[in-house]
Each structure stands twice: as structure tokens, then as C-alpha cells.
Amino acid sequence: MAATAPPRTSAPSAVGDGAGPSRQPRPSGTAWASKTVVNTLLAIVAVYMLMPLSWLLVNATKNNGDLFASPGFEPAEFNLLTNLTGLFTYQDGVFGRWLANSLLYSVVGALASTFISLLAGYAFHTYDWWGKEKLYGLVLLGILVPHTVISLPMYLMASEVGLVNSYWSVLIPGLVNPFGVYLARVFAESYVPGETLEAARIDGASELRAFRSVALPMLSPAFVTVFLFSFTGSWNNFFLPLVMLNDSTLYPVGLGLFNWNATLPQEPQLYSFVITGSLVSVVPLAIAFVALQRYWRSGLTAGAVK
């Protein structure tokens, strides 16, 4: 009797046909919904951030009558050029003096503060001495101290040496920037290899020459990043000039606009000047960030990769 062959079974299909579990593709609607939520949140944040600037742009074009007769975001008769002319001619052009003072405090002070921070950060990275890390920790503690807390002690020290009510009373305290020292050391660790400095020393370069000719060009993104932080902090500095300065011709633009704003009940014609001046005071910051954003963005991400 012939043996019967077992029935032939077919191999399971690669695509699920009910015989086994199959991998279901991820629905495209989930990814679309995630993108929609993220984009919506970003749009809300952008509107929130740009709303004050938009209000300034609209209301800087209005005269005093339109400021109170029309809603804040509703355009009216264009009077921006008239407001600018009145702003820079009021009280013999004191606003232009305030703007020049702010540029002096911010540009000169930020350049000096940035250079000092780079020197300190480079020294912390390059050299070894007893107590270096303890001193660096003390510098980091300075980041935690608000500037308003030390403004009164600095005023007392400035009064002892006769620097109150002068440009130096605002410039000198701004030279010390603990956060700038921290950033400079992080950048130095990422950008300045010890082998390069050792090669420069072997070639006969002094320590100052090695820093100036080798390390400083490598730290150019760090210079721009620290400068922008220092420039923004100096430009927005308010409490220290308020404590140190009595002469209105030495005021920075923020303190000058604050004094004008305080006299609005007695001088309501200053409303348009305060709003237009606030818009003008934002322009230097915007120019600095737009002009240096390429170096700033690359500098912020430099410490992320070794």
C-alpha cells in the first residue's frame, strides 16, 4: 500500500493576511497634529514677544491727540518725522546727548569688559596655580549676586574717591562681568588647544604674543558673544546710573526717558516724545544683533561639541 504524502503547506505571507501579527504604519495624522500644535505654540509666543514692539511702531507715528483718540493698535495720521524732529530738538537736544551717553557706556564699556573677560577666561583655562578652582568658584558666585544689591556699596566706594556723578562711575563697575568670564573659559576650552599654545611657545612667542596672535583670533566668536551680552546689559542698565548720576546731561537714554515719563502729569506734551524715544532706543540693540547674529549663533553652540 503506497504511503500518502503529507499535505504541502504554504509559507506565511510577508504581509499580514490574518495568519500572524502585522506591523501597522503610523498614521500620518498624528505627525500632522504634532506639527500643528508646535507651530501654534510658536506663533503664540512670537505674537506675545512682538506685541510691545508693534505697539511702539504704531504709536510712534501718532501725535498727542491721536494717542488718546484712537486705540493702541489702530493706525492714525502719520507723524513719525514730526515726532522725531521734536524729540531731538526738545530741551536743546538733550535726547541726542542721552543716546550718545548710552553708546559710550555700552560700546566702550562692553569692549573693555569683553577683553577683560577673555583674558580672565583664557588664564583660567591655560595656567595652573594654587587655588585656581576656588577662585573660579568665587567668580561664579558673582553671577548669583544681583547688580541692584551691590549698587549701594559701589556708590559708597565711588563717593570716597570722588567718582560720583561722572562717566567713570558707570563705566568702571561695568568692567567686571562674572558671566563673561565663565563664557570665556568655556570658549577657551573648546577653541584653544594646548598643543597650539605649546607650539607657539617653542617658536619663541611670549605669553602675551601667544594670546594676541594665536588665542585671540581663535576666540573671535567668543568675543562677539560676550560683547553682545555685555552691550545689552550696559544698554539696559538702569539702577546703577540712577544711583550714581545727578547731572541730567550724563544720563543714559533709559534713565532720561524714565525722568520724562515721571513728569507726564505736569507735561503731557511729552507723551509722544517718550513713546518715540523708546522706539529709537531699541534701534541700536536691533542693529547690533542683526549685524552680529552669525557670530553670535555659532558662538552659542560652540561649547556643545568638543
Per-residue confidence of the chain (306 residues) as pLDDT tens digits?
Answer: 444 445 554 444 444 444 445 555 555 567 777 788 888 899 999 888 888 888 888 888 888 888 888 877 888 888 889 889 999 999 888 999 999 999 999 999 999 999 999 999 999 999 988 888 899 999 988 888 888 888 888 999 999 998 899 999 999 988 889 999 999 999 898 888 888 888 888 888 888 888 888 888 888 888 988 999 899 989 998 999 999 999 889 999 999 999 999 988 888 888 889 999 999 999 998 888 888 877 665 555 554 444
Q: Please give the model's pTM, rounded to 2 decimal places.
A: 0.80
Alpha helices in the chain (DSSP H): 28-59, 64-69, 80-89, 94-103, 109-126, 132-143, 147-161, 168-171, 178-191, 194-202, 207-210, 216-218, 220-235, 239-244, 253-262, 271-300
Written as one letter, the residue type at 176 is: V
**φ and ψ at 210, to 5 degrees?**
-65, -40
